[in-house]
Amino acid sequence: MTMPLMRPKRKNPVLRTRQMNLPPWARGRVALGITAAAAEGRFELQTCEDCGTVQYPPREACHKCLSPRLHWQEQNGEGALLSSTTLHHSNDLFFRERLPWRLGLVQLDAGPTLMVHLHGEVGEAPARVRVGARLDRAGQAVLIGFPNEGSAHMADDKMLREMTSDPKFRKVLVTDGKTEVGQAIVRALVKAGADIVWVGHAEPWKKMGGLEDITALPQVTLVPLDLTNGRSVSELAGEIGGKVDIVINNAEVHRSFGIGSRRGTDVAKAEMDINYFGLLRLAQEFGPALKGRSADGATGATAWVNLLSIYALSNFPPHGTFSASKAAAHSLAQCLRAEMRPAGIRVINVFPGPIDDEWNQHTPPPKLAGSALANAIVKALRDGVEDVYPGDVAQEWLERWRDNPKILERELAAGG
């Protein structure tokens, strides 16, 4: 049984902060299919369309019938642990710092035999296990063997915590606390065990509904943060940047209408100033601090979360300029992910559908509640994924976009 994680001791400020050593990350293009699925929380393996063989490791052709007709199919991961071993020595710097490290050989019910990392609650062979795919600190997929029935403290496993960004005992910055979504995120983080939650407020002189409730929580501290003001971002980074473990950028400006329904560019500029340039200012100031602390012990800096929109994938004309600003932010977030990956910082992009807020009053249901969105963000941190599409609308849009983005564009232009 996994022992509950204890609150870490305060760091000695005299000690040098270690730099991150990444696990082996080289993958061939074919193997990146496992990584692409793991980034969204799925475990997929190649399946032959001609003979039905499920194979591992990934190859260009089926190892049984040599057919090149292979597709990625989600697996339930059920299998039998054949043997296990514990490493007490490694030539790799990443694993050398984390020894001992347990590995196992698992035969899936679907056929393939895999070498996996073993969760601490998995017993000795023979035993039934469930294999899942997770992203490691290098952003590549690795396979983990889980017990079929785990304890309440499974997430506190030392090995699993290396693969995820669980907010428990971590310090989090939420960039906007004035919205219902922001306040729901704060409450969800406190419930998940966050040690400190700094909540940004661009206009602290205004009395906003709900702020008093969240600031009454002992873990919450209100801080001045205006993402349109580079000096405000820089001053806050100088004050708390060296302490933050997780940044959640939920600040946004959302206005309806497209190009021809509004004269001038003032509204579009306001959307871009927060949704795109706000993210850019935040990344420039807080990014280096997070990268410098990614190896800072059990609660080192670990993740950056961007609240985007499913409209970032394909423009939704009734919210046209907002969609464009989120598409720009999505592209910037991909750049941020590439720059953060060498330091082991996970960048999580959240693509919700219409949220049940003031800017979607006339949007018909289903709409995503702020609490559901907050829970999806906490779950993404705990599961260690990169892309999240919470809500029925987001899932449907994603499926249609992957099937044929041009057809989706035409349907949205026609109001569908």
Q: What is the mean pLDDT of residues 387-398?
A: 95
pLDDT for 241 beyond 60: yes
Same domain, 157 and 261: no
Please check whether residue 19 lies inside any domain of the structure.
Answer: no
Q: Where residue 11 falls among pLDDT bands split at 50, 70, 90? A: low
Same domain, 385 and 272: yes
67: CB partners within 8 A, 6+ apart: 48, 49, 50, 51, 61
Task: Give me 221's structure tokens.
Answer: 């501290």
Whole-number pLDDT of residue 212: 83
Please check whether residue 1 lies inside any domain of the structure.
Answer: no
Please check whether residue 9 lies inside any domain of the structure.
Answer: no
Portion of the chain with pLDDT greater than 90, in percent? 75
Whole-number pLDDT of residue 215: 87
pLDDT for 33 beyond 80: yes
Q: What is the mean pLDDT of residues 393-399?
A: 95
- 207: buried, middle or exposed (CB in 10 Å: 19+, 13-18, 0-12)? exposed
Instruction: Tell me the C-alpha distance between 163 and 360, whole Å.
Output: 36
Higher pLDDT, 101 or 365: 101
Please check whether residue 6 lies inside any domain of the structure.
Answer: no
Same domain, 149 and 271: no
Q: Where residue 227 falls among pLDDT bands split at 50, 70, 90? A: very high
pLDDT for 174 beyond 80: yes
Higher pLDDT, 278 or 11: 278
Same domain, 135 and 202: no
Q: Please report, for the domain that includes residue 255, its CATH number.
A: 3.40.50.720
Higher pLDDT, 112 or 360: 112
Last residue of a domain, one of 111, 140, 163: 163
β-strands 141-147, 101-108 pairing? unpaired
Whole-number pLDDT of residue 359: 74
Model confidence pLDDT, tens digit, residues 99-109: 999 999 999 99
- CB count within 10 Å of CB 145 equals 25
Q: Where residue 364 falls among pLDDT bands split at 50, 70, 90? A: confident
Q: Which domain holds residue 319?
A: 171-413
Same domain, 181 and 316: yes
**Omega before 126 cis (within 30°)?**
yes
Task: Give me 383's structure tokens.
Answer: 């599961």
pLDDT for 1 beyond 60: no
Same domain, 355 and 409: yes
Q: What is the mean pLDDT of residues 163-170?
A: 92
Please check whether residue 358 lies inside any domain of the structure.
Answer: yes
Instruction: Tell me the C-alpha distance between 286 and 281, whole Å.
Output: 9
389: CB partners within 8 A, 6+ apart: 40, 310, 351, 352, 395, 397, 398
Whole-number pLDDT of residue 13: 65
Instruction: Tell me the C-alpha distance between 290 and 304, whole Å.
Output: 9
Instruction: Tell me the C-alpha distance between 293 and 290, whole Å.
Output: 5
Same domain, 225 and 329: yes
Please check whether residue 10 lies inside any domain of the structure.
Answer: no
Q: What is the mean pLDDT of residues 299-315?
A: 93
Instruction: Tell me the C-alpha distance between 35 and 220, whole Å.
Output: 35
Last residue of a domain, one of 114, 145, 163: 163
Please check whether residue 20 lies inside any domain of the structure.
Answer: no
Structural contact between residues 148 and 121, judged by C-beta atoms closer than 8 angstroms: no
Q: Is the pTM of this model over 0.85?
A: yes
- Residue whose C-alpha is closest to residue 35's, from 134, 121, 160, 176: 134
Instruction: Tell me the C-alpha distance between 341 and 386, whole Å.
Output: 12
Whole-number pLDDT of residue 116: 97
Same domain, 220 and 319: yes
Domains held by the chain: number: 2
354: CB partners within 8 A, 6+ apart: 360, 363, 367, 368, 391, 393
Same domain, 116 and 134: yes
Give the range among 61-70, 101-110, 298-307 with minimum mean pLDDT: 298-307
- CB count within 10 Å of CB 196 equals 19
Same domain, 239 and 127: no
Higher pLDDT, 8 or 242: 242
Residue with tokens 């099937």: 403
Last residue of a domain, one of 131, 163, 195: 163
Structural contact between residues 163 and 135, judged by C-beta atoms closer than 8 angstroms: yes
Model confidence pLDDT, tens digit, residues 262-282: 888 999 999 999 999 999 999
Please check whether residue 22 lies inside any domain of the structure.
Answer: no
Structural contact between residues 46 and 33, judged by C-beta atoms closer than 8 angstroms: yes
Q: Where residue 97 falls among pLDDT bands split at 50, 70, 90? A: confident
Whole-number pLDDT of residue 257: 86
Same domain, 211 and 340: yes
Give the chain's mean pLDDT: 91
Same domain, 248 and 340: yes
